């Protein structure tokens, strides 16, 4: 039986679906206002492994949203002088490309916030009718004091709730802890007509509406990063329960944060490593393995050493596959075979990926020692790899040594920066962005500032 750690209750529990063999899972996706960093990729990879595991037993319907209406998107568009939709569309495309490069399979549903505003408006109407929300100066706010169980997910008391939410101090709020469901929009900002005037939804509202629309009132699993527990998921629980009279989710799962030194990796801290720049240095599969090297609930320290060790580990796995008989490398062979029972048990034990990787290492030792038939052992190895999202490249291709592009000279970099400046001056921001991405892919990061554009080389 699969067991999962449920943040709601703070304990590991046997996983029992609410509807027979049908399982529903919703994972909070990105807000698309800039390049995704490797920390953003951790929940995508973690819950991709969980989805692969669940599909062995159940009929899974997996949804992961994209937030394409947000104040950060508005700010990014204003800074670049481009339409808001262009910013969102560009980074949606980049996000999908980036996580596909990490071996993440597309979810069954990937709803966009802007496509579900009518459902959000309907949810707000329900909360107003039940007295759990109120109107104030063009806003609609959730009345936290009307929901006695508020705080059950995070375990925070009232003072911690207010401090942790970094709430906006606003005179129109009945209580500082109340959170925005709907807010007014000026003409230059995205907006939709509503009973409360032209406006846009608050961030917390969208997931409740989209989860219900695509998966039902009560879903089995809701996932995301630990930084979403409060206030985002706490608010989702409150508004969904009060609007529908049913819990939003039965199991709440949260992955730990990626750290750079002593700090959490975050765009606001300026200590990010983007997926794209990292993939310009090593294969995406190496990054995926690095993300799976620690238990998903634990923090993960990102470093050059972690990436190098992950590459070496993959090299050892691929080397034994390369040494096995040619027939073990036929396309599709691994999917027809079964992974070892030990590996499946490790993943069913609250997604213990380090233990699963240890099982793969033990299988390699058996193959090396001749304790298992090469065809059988290699097929099982690749089947286990498929559950983890690794070992799906042809081994010969993995070890093909291609001449890498020579490092760009300072003169070449400055020439490309000048070309980019001309494209921006001409208003062709797409072409300018392509130059930025091209340079990032070759290890050169551009930084725009008041004194112009500077550059730096990156290391893993």
Cα 294 to the chain's mean position, in Å?
Answer: 17
- What integer pLDDT is reported at residue 171 of this predicted model? 85
Integer Cα distance of 114 and 91 in angstroms = 15
User: Residues 6 or more apart from 415 whose CB is under 8 A from it?
Assistant: none
- What integer pLDDT is reported at residue 438 of this predicted model? 77
Q: Which of 122, 110, 152, 348 is nearest to 248 (CA)?
A: 152
- What integer pLDDT is reported at residue 192 of this predicted model? 96
- What integer pLDDT is reported at residue 460 of this predicted model? 34
Q: Which of 52, 43, 3 is nearest to 388 (CA)?
A: 52
- What integer pLDDT is reported at residue 161 of this predicted model? 67
Integer Cα distance of 142 and 135 in angstroms = 9
- What integer pLDDT is reported at residue 337 of this predicted model? 82
Residue 8 tokens read as 């709601």
Residue 112 buriedness (CB in 10 A; 0-12 / 13-18 / 19+): middle
Residue 157 · residue 151 · CB < 8 Å: yes
Direct distance between the N- and C-terminal alpha carbons of the chain, in angstroms, rounded to an integer: 39
Integer Cα distance of 446 and 456 in angstroms = 7
> pTM for this one?
0.84
Residue 82 buriedness (CB in 10 A; 0-12 / 13-18 / 19+): middle
Residue 307, φ and ψ in degrees, nearest 5? -65, -45
Written as tens digits, the pLDDT of the chain (460 aa) is: 999 999 999 999 999 999 999 999 999 999 999 999 999 999 999 999 999 999 999 999 999 999 999 999 999 888 888 889 999 999 999 999 999 999 999 999 999 999 999 999 999 999 999 999 999 999 999 999 999 999 999 998 777 666 655 556 688 899 999 999 999 999 989 999 999 999 999 999 999 999 999 999 999 999 999 999 999 999 999 999 999 999 999 999 999 999 987 677 776 666 789 999 999 889 999 999 999 999 999 999 999 999 999 999 999 999 999 888 544 444 444 445 899 999 999 999 999 999 999 999 999 999 999 899 998 899 999 999 999 999 999 998 888 743 345 677 888 888 889 989 888 888 888 788 878 877 876 778 888 888 789 888 764 3
């Amino acid at each position: 039986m699969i067991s999962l750690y449920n943040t709601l209750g703070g304990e590991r529990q046997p996983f029992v679906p609410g509807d027979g063999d049908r399982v529903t899972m919703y994972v909070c996706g990105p807000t698309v206002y800039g390049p995704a960093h490797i920390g953003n990729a951790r929940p995508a990879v973690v819950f991709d492994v969980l989805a692969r595991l669940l599909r062995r037993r159940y009929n899974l319907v997996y949804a992961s949203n994209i937030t394409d209406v947000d104040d950060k998107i508005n700010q990014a568009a204003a800074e670049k002088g481009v339409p808001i939709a262009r910013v969102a569309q560009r980074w949606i495309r980049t996000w999908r490309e980036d996580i596909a490069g990490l071996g993440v399979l597309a979810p069954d549903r990937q709803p966009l916030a802007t496509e579900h505003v009518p459902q959000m408006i309907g949810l707000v109407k329900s909360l107003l009718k039940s007295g759990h929300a109120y109107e104030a100066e063009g806003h609609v706010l959730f009345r936290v004091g009307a929901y006695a169980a508020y705080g059950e997910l995070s375990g925070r008391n009232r003072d911690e709730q207010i401090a942790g939410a970094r709430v906006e101090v606003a005179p129109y709020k009945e209580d500082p802890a109340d959170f925005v469901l709907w807010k007014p929009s000026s003409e230059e900002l995205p907006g939709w007509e509503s009973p409360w005037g032209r406006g846009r939804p608050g961030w917390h509202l969208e997931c409740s509406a989209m989860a219900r629309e695509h998966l039902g009132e009560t879903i089995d699993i809701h996932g995301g990063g630990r930084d979403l527990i409060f206030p985002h998921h706490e608010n989702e629980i409150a508004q969904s329960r009060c609007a529908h009279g049913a819990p939003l989710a039965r199991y709440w799962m949260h992955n730990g944060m990626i750290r750079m030194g002593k700090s959490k990796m975050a765009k606001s801290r300026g200590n990010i490593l983007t997926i794209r720049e990292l993939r310009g240095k090593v294969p995406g599969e190496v990054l995926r393995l690095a993300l799976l090297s620690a238990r998903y609930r634990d923090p993960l320290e990102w470093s050059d050493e972690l990436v190098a060790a992950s590459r070496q580990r993959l090299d050892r796995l691929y080397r034994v596959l390369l040494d096995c008989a040619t027939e073990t490398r036929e396309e599709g062979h691994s999917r027809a075979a079964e992974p070892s029972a030990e590996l499946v048990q490790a993943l069913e034990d609250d997604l213990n990926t380090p233990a699963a990787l240890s099982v793969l290492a033990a299988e390699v030792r058996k193959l090396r020692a001749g304790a298992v038939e090469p065809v059988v052992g290699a097929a099982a190895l690749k089947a286990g790899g498929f559950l983890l999202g690794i070992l799906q490249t042809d081994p010969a291709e993995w070890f093909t040594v291609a001449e890498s592009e020579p490092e760009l000279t300072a003169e070449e970099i400055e020439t490309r920066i000048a070309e980019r400046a001309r494209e921006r001056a001409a208003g062709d921001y797409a072409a300018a962005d392509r130059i930025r991405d091209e340079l990032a892919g070759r290890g050169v990061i551009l930084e725009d500032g008041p004194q112009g554009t500077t550059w730096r080389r990156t290391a893993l």
